[in-house]
Amino acid sequence: MEKQYESKLDVIKTQEAITKVKQHFEKELLTRLNLIKVSAPLFIDSKTGLQDNLNGKERAVDFEVSGQYLEIVQSLAKWKRFALKQYGFEEGSGICTDMTAIRKDEKIDSIHSYLVDQWDWEKVISKEERNIDTLKAVVTAIYKAIRTTARYIKKEYPVFSYKLAKSVYFITAQELEDLYKDKSAKEREYLITKKYGTVFIIGIGDKLKSGKEHDFRSPDYDDWKLNGDLLIWHSKLGIPLEITSMGIRVDKESMISQVKKSMCEERLKQKYHKMVINEELPYTIGGGIGQSRLCMLLLEKMHIGEVQVGFWSKEELLKCQKMGIKVL
């Protein structure tokens, strides 16, 4: 972070601008992807298999009700696909929700919080659409929604001067490793995003030629060959900011293969996994788009605490105070 910082909007204007960012982007997203807004669960039965296990290390927040354990959702990756079947959505249409989660094992810093807020969306596609071209087309549509929102916000608040790349640069995780063989995954993300401004890294979860994954992914919702992360350069912080993680969801073959690679075959006994194996769920594409992350980017904020009310350690609060950062 920079040593000297002054927000271009005061707290009241910031609150106003947060609402404008969220309302405008959501409208763009729903229109461009043909989605409708639906309600979403805050907690689910841990035995259904609908919980998102993320990279497998995060512990869900749980509580007991009448002898039954429920878990606060970590994302709605699996629930949304199940909901699309239950609601009877047709190919080419889908849903979007306001998802709020608690990730108690998160390492807190300027872009990470215990509170996760995102637009969790999911869309029905055909079996033939399970390909890279479909993935790229949806990523491009999402980025156009971001750019349109950015233009609107800059018109509303002329104090902002950032420029977003005109288009998304696509690269696979393997191509990225080949390009920067002597760098770590995070260093590779930094270099490629700084160069191109907006980058989508395809194929996250499986092992690369080096024997290491670019990053960890749960094996039972995204197809590791057809997923990825959208990174946008945050000029104030000087880092790549992950705005969304998304992908085409697993079919029977990819899920069984990935679960075996991850040595968690016991999951295949759960209801959700059986439905995938029995081909009872629709083919879908989906992901989560960070609401606070997008606000940080478009409002040129240095800390996620400037755009969401969270919990911060005394050390983090002191650091923000010294830098002139006012957390909500």
Catalytically active residues are: 52, 103, 118, 229, 242, 245
Identify the CA nearest to 298 among candidates 11, 12, 19.
19
d(CA 297, CA 164): 10
**Which structure tokens are listed for 125?**
């596609």
Amino acid identity of residue 163, one-letter, is K
Q: How far is CA 170 from CA 123, 209, 226, 241, in A?
A: 21, 19, 12, 16
Q: What is the DSSP letter of 269?
A: G
| Residue position matching structure tokens 């197809």 | 223
The continuous run of DSSP H or E covering 44 comes out as strand 43-45
Q: Point out which residues pair with 325 in neighbouring strands.
A: none
List of residues 6+ apart from 221 with CB closer than 8 A = 52, 77, 78, 81, 249, 250
**Which structure tokens are listed for 182?**
């002597």
Beta strands in 184-323 (DSSP E): 198-202, 222-234, 239-249, 284-290
- DSSP letters for 286-314: EEEEEHHHHHHHHTT-S-GGGTS-----H
